Amino acid sequence: MSPRRNRPPRGRRGSPEPLDLAKLRRGIDAVETWGHERWRVRHLPAAEKTYRCPGCDHEIRPGVPHVVVWPMEPLDGGTGESQRRHWHTPCWRARDHRRPH
């Protein structure tokens, strides 16, 4: 029996997939439950402009990592896009202890 090989043989290595900068800027989506609703949560590496966090009512400045949150099913007749809110990541994590302003 020959020893196990951990690397592919020379010449067979594929080139790494190039980074998709647009996808990287858009962030990574997840689905979380809050209250009786399901929320889409997108982790962004940096804000592009200034937003106001509904958790603490402070600004999220350009360049600050944060999350964008919106309901999976629109609430009160609105659209999911119109109900997107930018939160500081710690404020979103502590949302059960804070009430949106």
In a domain, 55, yes or no: yes
pLDDT in tens, 44-82: 989 889 999 999 999 999 999 999 999 888 777 666 677
Residue 2 lies in a domain: no
Pairing of strands 51-52, 37-44: unpaired
Our count of domains for the chain comes to 1
DSSP for 25-86, written as a single string? HH-EEEEEEETTEEEEEEEESS-SS-EE-TTT--EE-TT--EEEEEESS-STT--TGGG-EE
Domain that holds residue 52: 22-93
Give residue-wise pLDDT tens across range 8-46: 666 555 667 776 666 665 667 888 988 888 999 999 989
Q: Is residue 10 part of a domain?
A: no
Q: How far apart are CA 80 and CA 17, in angstroms?
A: 32
Which residue bears the tokens 């997939």?
17
Are 94 and 55 in contact, with CB atoms under 8 Å apart? yes
